[in-house]
Structure 1
Amino acid sequence: MLLLEVERKFPSLTTKALHLATGNPPFQSIHHLGTKTLHDIYFDSPTHHLSNQGIWIRKRNNTWQAKIRRGGNYTNSQFEELSTPAEISSYLATITGVKRTEGGNFGLVPMADFVTVRESWVANTEFTIVQDETDFGHTVGEVEMEWRGEFHGFRGNGDGDGEGFRRLKMKEMDGRIEEFMDTYGWAFSGGSAKGKLTAYFEKMGRK
Structure 2
Amino acid sequence: MATKFFLLAFLALAASRALASDPGQLQDFCVADRTSQVFVNGFACKDPKNVVVEDFLFSGLHMAGNMGNKQGSAVSAVNVAHIPGLNTLGISLARVDYAPYGQNPPHIHPRASEILTVLEGSLYVGFVTSNPETKLFSKVLNKGDVFVFPQGLIHFQFNTGDKEAIAIAALSSKNPGVITIANAVFGSMPSISDDILAKAFQVDKKIVDHVQAQF
Say whether the fold is shared (TM-score over 0.5). no
| TM-score normalised according to structure 2 size | 0.19
Rg larger in 1 or in 2?
2
Q: Which has the higher strand share?
A: 1
Bigger RCO (CA 8 Å, 6+ sep): 1
| TM-score normalised according to structure 1 size | 0.20
